[in-house]
């Protein structure tokens, strides 16, 4: 199960990260947790790829990073969505919804007439 999930996630990890940080400063671990919980543990990400993805988004200027203190008083790197990132989130979410709707519609469609 884990292998097929990873493949799906590769293309959508960015979108999920953007969504995860859209409510306010969030550290990497919280992003991972949120993805697990929001997808009812269906999508388990390979956490090694989470951090390069976060850094890529930061380099692109979609998210901004700053060091702060975590809920258990440890130094942690927090990410926030930049306005540019928020716009990107809107675009990608819409694309994904359309794509998923199309695939879903195709799967629900009646069998091809013979």
Q: Is 82 in the site for another protein (CB under 8 A)?
A: yes
> Closest distance between another protein and the C-beta of residue 73, in Å?
12
What Rg value do the Cα atoms of the chain yield, rounded? Answer: 16
Chain centre to alpha carbon of residue 37: 12
Phi, psi of 71 (to 5 degrees): -60, -30
- The 3-state DSSP class for residue 27 equals strand
Closest listed residue to residue 29, CA positions, set 50, 6, 59: 50
Residues from 22 through 81 that contact another protein (CB under 8 A): 27-29, 32, 44, 46-49, 51-52, 55-56, 58-59, 61, 64, 67, 70, 72, 74-77
By beta-carbon proximity to another protein, the closer residue of 67 and 111 is 67
State the residues that interact with another protein by CB under 8 A: 27-29, 32, 44, 46-49, 51-52, 55-56, 58-59, 61, 64, 67, 70, 72, 74-77, 82-84
């Amino acid at each position: 199960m884990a292998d097929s999930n990873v493949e799906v996630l590769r293309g959508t990890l960015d979108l999920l990260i953007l969504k995860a940080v859209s409510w306010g400063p969030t550290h990497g671990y919280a992003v991972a947790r949120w993805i697990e919980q929001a997808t009812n543990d269906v999508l388990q990400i390979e956490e090694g790829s989470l951090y390069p993805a976060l850094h890529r988004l930061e380099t692109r200027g979609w998210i901004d990073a700053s060091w702060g203190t975590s809920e258990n008083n440890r130094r942690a790197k927090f990410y926030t969505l930049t306005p540019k990132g928020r716009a990107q989130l809107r675009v990608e979410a819409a694309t994904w919804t359309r794509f998923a709707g199309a695939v879903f519609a195709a799967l629900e469609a009646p069998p091809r007439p013979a």
